[in-house]
A and B are shown apart, each in its own frame.
Chain A
Amino acid sequence: MGRYTFLEDVALADCAVEIEAKDPADLFETAAAALAALMVDPGTMRLSVERTITLTARELDLLLYDWLSELIYRKDRDREVFTRVAARVSGTGPFELTAQAHGGVIDPTVTALGADPKAVTFHQFAVTSAEGVWRARVVIDI
């Protein structure tokens, strides 16, 4: 998996994260891990659900926007948080994501809760690649 860093000097009340990965699939997996770590202590989630999630979008950055939005949506609708994801990204536009997402259902008696993300913003939103490294910057409203 790639790596993520929460940025402190951007949008004080919210959460900015910078993600680095070796390819688009890794980028999507790492972004999901960052989001999960924002919502819960992943070590306190019992892995009990597995979902296949498929999304398509015209641009790769919009696919990442839709992917993180989907995970936030499922947190509210199903109380599910995915701490481990295997992603496949294909296409050259439109792009398609197929993700096997492993996670659990939030149980406040067991799960150490973090922030409750509201949405993915487009503020400073970017997906870039250079010299074999894929990078994304995402600000999440919390």
Chain B
Amino acid sequence: MSRDITLSTTMKVSSIADCVWEIPPSEKPGMRVPARIYASEALIAQMDQGVFEQVTNVACLPGIVRAALCMPDGHWGYGFPIGGVAAFRTDNGIISPGGIGFDINCGMRLLRTRLGEDEVRPKLRELVAALFAAVPSGVGAKGFVHLSEAEFRRVMIEGAGWCIARGYGWPEDLDRMEGRGCLPGADPAHVSHRAVSRGSDQLGTLGSGNHYLEIQIVPPGGLHDPRAGKALGVDGPGQVLVMLHCGSRGFGHQIGTDYLRMFDQVMRRYGITVNDRELACAPFRSPEGQAYFAAMTAAANTAFANRQVITHRVREVFASVFGKDPRELGLSVIYDVCHNTAKVERHEVDGQLLELLVHRKGATRAFGPGAADVPEAYRGVGQPVVIGGSMETGSALLLGTAHAMVETFGSTAHGAGRTMSRAEAKRRVGGETLLRDMEARGIIVRAASKSGVAEEAGFAYKDLAAVVDVLERLDISRKVASFSPIGNIKG
């Protein structure tokens, strides 16, 4: 280490470059590659013991290449750390639900508007109340879209495109999504009836935990790169935007549960052992691995559809509150990006172009300028990266870089990252108190659960600016704009 820092591990952790820390394979039996943590000294010192244990456990999995990675927002998760990225050869590597998370394709969507803060403030309370009514949240919430099982299977295959075909959005929305809102390879035949019955009536719902729908503004000094901002539709201070954070809901959670349970049993047959049972996995090319990939992709596509239906509701609410057509209000999608997925991609490793299954768990794809899967409109600047902070302290819009492609398999952080347990956050502040305090600071919040609000207090998270600063120092993302919340709907 470059100087004395107390870390939550006894493993040898070496600084190998600015903001790059490495744990060599000699530190844990079975490590096939090193583990790499991207963080400043201050951020790595905040990381809990689970990060070091989990990232080194990932380094032991079959078929992993180069290194097991953890982004600067990393914290103790289950299986992979949150912020974990790992790439496995598709010919002899594995796929693991614990490297994706139960909330398959949990992700972020950012919408722009032509509205200014001065136009929205007078109607903010009405707007937040209407959004809270239109977008169900909290335990057991049901959506307004009622589907037969056969129709829901169409959603699994078509993703956001299913919504557009039925009037829940604009055709051009698809041009502003990772994979155009539909990942290839989904096969409903590998999805259980249980998953369908659990989640088919949840399209258009937020969920709870750290999921939210937020009205944001560009604060003074918040547009850091006006040229990129122009390309993405971020005009400057005072502009109002809308950010969504949610995923595949109960449908994806059940698919994760079904396959984790299956992999726990079949691993032995393939002679695979893992350090954490949550890393249960199967060879990617095995029948079980392929079945999970097909089901997981079906869940990813329903998550795109979920965010699309919510977008439709947001447009309806804005149109009603402001008495204007959503197109007149300029309510267009800037970008929709996943942060819990596994995708087949080609990356160069040791001078060889390999087909890899890149797991990102609480990590965002961050492809650089010129990448084929970046929308044409953005190909000159790079893929937008939407990073959610806490509901008190704001969020950020960044761009992927060419260096991310060689350093992190085209990946970056996904948020600020927690530093405190939910119970500790609730001890420090009550939900009602926090709501009053935020309102005094001009942030109106409506929530299904008051205790859930306290759990998501800003002080429970790392400093987002510090995380973004590391991403820039590493040149795996570059900053376009920062956003501040003025209204928030929570589960």
Are the C-beta atoms of B208 and A116 separated by less than 8 Å? yes
* Residues of chain B from 56 to 86 with CB closer than 8 A to chain A in the complex: 75-79, 82
Interface hit among B216-224, B341-349, B448-456: B448-456
Q: How far is the CA of A75 from the CA of B277 in the complex (A)?
A: 25
Chain A residues with CB under 8 Å of B249's CB are: 76
Are the C-beta atoms of B139 and A114 separated by less than 8 Å? yes
B102 interface residue per 8 A CB criterion: yes
Interface hit among B170-178, B257-265, B381-389: B257-265
B210 interface residue per 8 A CB criterion: yes
Q: How far is the CA of A40 from the CA of B140 in the complex (A)?
A: 11
Are the C-beta atoms of B76 and A11 separated by less than 8 Å? yes
**B interface residue count range (under 10 / 10 to 19 / 20 to 34 / 35 or more):** 35 or more
Q: How far is the CA of A15 from the CA of B423 in the complex (A)?
A: 9
Contact A115 B448, CB 8 Å, known A11-B76, A39-B139, A77-B197: no
Are the C-beta atoms of A73 and B198 separated by less than 8 Å? yes
* Residues of chain B from 122 to 142 with CB closer than 8 A to chain A in the complex: 138-140, 142
A31 interface residue per 8 A CB criterion: no
Chain A residues with CB under 8 Å of B198's CB are: 73, 76-77
Partner of B210, one of A13, A76, A120: A13
The 0/1 profile, CB within 8 Å of A marked 1, for residues 452-484 of chain B is: 100100000000000000000000000000000
Chain A residues with CB under 8 Å of B419's CB are: 12
Residue of A nearest to B423 (CB): A8
Q: How far is the CB of B258 from chain A (nearest CB, A)?
A: 9
**A interface residue count range (under 10 / 10 to 19 / 20 to 34 / 35 or more):** 35 or more
Are the C-beta atoms of A119 and B257 separated by less than 8 Å? yes
Chain B residues with CB under 8 Å of A139's CB are: 78
Chain B residues with CB under 8 Å of A112's CB are: 449-450
A113 interface residue per 8 A CB criterion: yes
Residue of B nearest to A125 (CB): B277
Are the C-beta atoms of B139 and A12 separated by less than 8 Å? no
Are the C-beta atoms of A114 and B257 separated by less than 8 Å? no
Are the C-beta atoms of B48 and A75 separated by less than 8 Å? no
Contact A123 B278, CB 8 Å, known A13-B210, A76-B199, A115-B139: yes
Chain A residues with CB under 8 Å of B98's CB are: 121-123
Chain A residues with CB under 8 Å of B140's CB are: 75-76, 79, 81, 106, 116
Q: How far is the CA of A118 from the CA of B250 in the complex (A)?
A: 7
Are the C-beta atoms of B418 and A121 separated by less than 8 Å? no
B: residues with CB less than 8 A from A are 48, 50, 75-79, 82, 98, 101-103, 138-140, 142, 194, 197-199, 202, 207-210, 249-250, 253-254, 256-257, 260-261, 264, 276-278, 280, 418-424, 448-452, 455, 491
Given contact pairs A73-B194, A113-B138, A141-B101, enumerate 14 new A-B contacts (beta carbons under 8 Å). Answer: A11-B77, A12-B50, A13-B422, A15-B422, A77-B198, A113-B139, A115-B455, A118-B103, A119-B256, A121-B78, A121-B79, A122-B260, A122-B277, A125-B278
Interface pairs (21), CB distance under 8 Å: A11-B77, A12-B422, A15-B422, A65-B261, A76-B249, A76-B250, A77-B197, A79-B140, A112-B449, A112-B450, A113-B208, A113-B448, A113-B449, A114-B452, A116-B138, A116-B139, A118-B256, A121-B98, A121-B278, A124-B276, A141-B253
